[in-house]
Each structure stands twice: as structure tokens, then as C-alpha cells.
């Protein structure tokens, strides 16, 4: 048996950030991650928005070139809408090295990192972990679920779980230098990406080619949709398909921040908490901001000895601030045919439509706002 102030389950960006913030305040933190190494099985495209880059000290050597240009395409890929910002808006992270750098920072802060260690569940007031040396019981004051969209910790703590999920897949390619300016290409075609988008993020070093949507609406499956899109995707260099670097994929929660994300025994962060924009499915900025808040309330609870301090970790209050994006998610989900998407696209060409798109794509608003 082992003990800890806080057991964090899952060493994605949310889990690593929460664990590090707590350890920096002198808390005894055990971080369990089922993967034996952090640079494999990457699920996210790794797009960081400007506000994240401004507010969090991400290592620049693991970030791609800045992106200012976004091109929105209707299903037939004709007459796209091009938006260019005066500021650097996006950078794509090299997520494997970013995770490893974050893990080194966590260990340096005092986090006990257990790789290759699976969370099995709660039993008799403790948590069962199975690692390379077999099962062990951990007794922790609090448990943090940073274990993804289908969180087992959420289930065991009796907290809310994600019900509205997209599934996504992408292929990453190396790009020869000297091509087009870094660009984020988005294709609105429900036959390729039902309820979401197909995309090419080409930053001049790598191209991320992906699709996502509601699993039950892919007529021939997610992989078939990705193959179809990759054959004619915009934004790739001419002269044949570049060599593939890796494949990624996984579930994406888009139901908004969950209402019950904390209780007297622990809380949820990242995808486990639904901390993803319902409209854009961007999750890296909210996961860092919510992780900061999680570390604050856990530190207060440990310092005061009052588990009730976790009551202010209230997903319902945060969720209420983003009703507009939840409504837009419902609207996007209703675009079920390419003809309907094609008919709706001219709105984006109007001054009002372009202004709305710029606000969503280039706005300063974070999700969620925790202050």
C-alpha cells in the first residue's frame, strides 16, 4: 500500500499540468499513466491558440511555425472563404516531445510519475493500480480523473460522464520546405465529417489531415471517410502524397463542460470533465485553464482540511457562460447533407458571416473562463 495527498489518473496535458501545479505547492502527488511512454498513442492534433501561447510557458522548440491564415471550404471546395489575421493565431505542438517535457517538469517539481500503470478502480476506500510489478492499493486524500473522454474515475466517483462524443482520425505527413504559407484548411461537408469538419493543418513542417464527426453517421466508417478526404484534401503539396509520419485518433467530447465535475473525494479535468469547446472541439486551452482551477481548489482543501472546498469547482456555473457555443453545436449537428451545407455557406461570404467566423477563429475568449 502507498499513500498520497492526490492521485492523478492520466498523464495527458491536463493531468500533467494539475499534478505539477500541486507538487509546486508542496503536495505529495502520484501520477499514474497506463502508457509505458508518453510519446506514443497521441490523440490530439495539438493546436494551441494564441491566448494559450500568451498565458502558458510552452517550450517553443516543440511548437511549429505560427499560423495566421484560415480557409473555409464548402463541400464542393469551390469559392472558399479566406480569413487572415494580423496576429499569430495558432501553432501546432509536437505533442510527444511536449508531453515528455511536461513530464520532466512534473518530476522536477516532485511528482511521482508511474508509467505503464493502469487505474483499475476503487475498493475499500483506496484506488487499485496495476503496474509493472503488479497491483498496489493507493490511499489518497483526493483523486483527479484526467483519464480521457470515457473516464473511469468519473464513473467511480459518481460524477457526470460525457454523453455527446465525436470520433476523429488524422494522418500526419512531413512537408517539404518552401511551400504555401502556414494555413488551417477547414472543409464543411457532412458526407465526410457528419456534425463537424474535415481539416488540413499545414504549418510548413507537417500537414495534419483529419476528419471527425458523429460515429453513427459515417456511412462507411471513419477510416473510409479519412481515405476519401485524403485523396482530394486541399492544402497538400503538389507532386504526390508525402510520407506519413503517424496516425492519430480517438473520441472528442462536444457536449460542453459537465455539470458535476467534483465531489468531496475528487474531481475531473481535461476531456474527462468535458473541457472542450462544443463548437470548435478545441480542448488544449480549456484543459490548462481548468487544471489551474483544479489545483487551486485541491490545494485549498488540503490546506484547510475541508473537502467542502471542492464545492466551488462547479461545472454548471462555468457551463452557463457558454450557452451560445452549445447552441451553435446543435446547429452544426443539424447539417446532415452536403446540399444543406452548400446552401448555408453563402452566409459566410457576407460581411456579417465573415465577422462571426473571425470572432470564433481569431477571438480572445477562452473556454472555460475560470476567473
3-state secondary structure of 368: coil
The whole-number pLDDT of residue 367 equals 59
Q: Are 115 and 35 in contact (CB under 8 A)?
A: yes
**pLDDT average per 10 residues of sequence, the chain (371 residues):** 95 97 98 93 88 92 95 92 95 94 97 97 92 95 96 97 95 83 94 94 93 93 93 82 80 94 96 91 91 96 90 89 82 88 90 92 70 51
The whole-number pLDDT of residue 309 equals 86
Q: Output the CA–CA distances (angstroms, integers) from residue 330 to 196, 254, 279, 354, in the order listed.
A: 11, 10, 9, 20
Place of cell 485549498: 300
The whole-number pLDDT of residue 368 equals 56
Furthest-apart CA pair in the chain: how many Å? 64
The whole-number pLDDT of residue 162 equals 96
Q: Are 16 and 152 in contact (CB under 8 A)?
A: no
The whole-number pLDDT of residue 239 equals 63
**DSSP assignment of 198-254:** EEEEE-SSEEEEEEEE-GGG-SS-HHHHHHHHHHH-TTPPSSSPPPEEEEEEEEEE-
φ, ψ of residue 130 in degrees (nearest 5): -115, 115
Query: Where do the structural domains in the chain lie, given as residue ranges?
Result: 2-362
**DSSP assignment of 82-151:** EEE-SS--EEEB-HHHHHHHHHHHHHHHT-EEEET-EEEEEETTEEEEEETTEEEEEEEEEEEE-S-TT-
**Nearest CA-CA partner of 265 in 110, 148, 117, 126:** 126
In this structure, the strands spanning 266-268 and 262-263 are: antiparallel
- Start-to-end CA span in the chain (Å): 38
Tell me the sheet residues that pair with 72. 81, 186
Contacts for 273 with CB less than 8 Å, ≥ 6 apart: 145, 257, 258, 261, 267, 290, 315
The whole-number pLDDT of residue 40 equals 80
Please give the class, per CATH, of domain 2-362: alpha beta
The whole-number pLDDT of residue 8 equals 98
Q: Output the CA–CA distances (angstroms, integers) from residue 143 to 105, 109, 154, 221, in the order listed.
A: 21, 19, 10, 36
Place of cell 476519401: 228
The whole-number pLDDT of residue 370 equals 52
Amino acid at each position: 500500500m502507498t499513500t498520497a495527498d492526490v492521485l492523478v489518473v492520466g498523464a495527458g496535458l491536463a493531468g500533467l499540468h494539475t499534478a505539477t501545479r500541486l507538487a509546486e505547492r508542496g503536495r505529495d502527488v502520484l501520477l499514474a499513466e497506463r502508457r509505458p511512454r508518453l510519446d506514443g498513442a497521441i490523440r490530439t492534433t495539438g493546436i494551441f491558440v494564441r491566448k494559450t501561447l500568451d498565458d502558458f510557458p510552452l517550450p517553443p522548440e516543440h511548437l511549429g511555425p505560427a499560423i495566421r491564415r484560415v480557409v473555409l471550404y464548402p463541400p464542393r471546395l469551390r469559392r472558399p472563404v479566406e480569413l487572415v489575421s494580423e496576429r499569430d493565431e495558432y501553432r501546432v505542438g509536437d505533442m510527444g516531445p511536449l508531453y515528455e517535457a511536461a513530464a520532466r517538469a512534473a518530476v522536477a517539481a516532485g511528482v511521482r510519475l508511474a508509467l505503464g500503470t493502469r487505474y483499475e478502480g476503487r475498493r475499500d476506500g483506496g484506488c487499485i493500480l496495476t503496474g509493472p510489478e503488479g497491483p498496489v492499493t493507493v490511499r489518497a486524500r483526493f483523486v483527479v480523473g484526467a483519464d480521457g473522454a470515457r473516464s473511469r474515475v468519473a464513473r467511480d466517483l459518481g460524477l457526470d460522464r460525457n454523453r455527446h462524443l465525436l470520433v476523429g482520425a488524422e494522418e500526419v505527413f512531413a512537408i517539404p520546405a518552401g511551400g504555401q504559407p502556414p494555413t488551417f484548411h477547414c472543409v464543411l461537408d457532412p458526407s465526410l465529417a457528419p456534425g463537424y469538419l474535415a481539416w488540413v493543418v499545414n504549418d510548413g513542417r507537417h500537414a495534419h489531415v483529419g476528419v471527425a464527426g458523429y460515429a453513427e453517421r459515417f456511412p462507411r466508417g471513419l477510416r473510409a471517410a479519412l481515405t476519401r478526404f485524403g485523396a482530394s484534401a486541399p492544402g497538400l503539396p503538389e507532386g504526390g502524397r508525402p510520407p506519413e509520419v503517424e496516425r492519430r485518433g480517438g473520441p472528442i467530447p462536444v457536449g460542453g463542460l459537465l455539470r458535476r465535475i467534483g465531489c468531496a473525494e475528487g474531481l475531473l479535468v481535461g476531456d474527462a470533465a468535458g473541457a472542450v469547446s462544443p463548437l470548435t472541439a478545441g480542448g488544449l486551452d480549456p484543459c490548462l485553464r481548468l487544471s489551474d482551477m483544479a489545483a487551486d481548489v485541491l490545494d485549498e482543501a488540503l490546506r484547510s482540511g475541508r473537502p467542502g472546498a471542492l464545492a466551488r469547482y462547479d461545472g454548471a456555473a462555468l457551463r452557463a457562460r457558454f450557452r451560445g457555443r452549445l447552441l451553435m453545436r446543435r446547429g452544426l449537428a443539424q447539417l446532415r447533407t452536403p446540399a444543406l451545407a452548400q446552401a448555408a455557406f453563402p452566409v459566410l461570404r457576407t460581411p456579417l458571416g465573415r465577422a462571426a467566423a473571425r470572432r470564433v477563429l481569431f477571438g480572445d475568449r477562452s473556454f472555460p473562463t475560470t476567473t
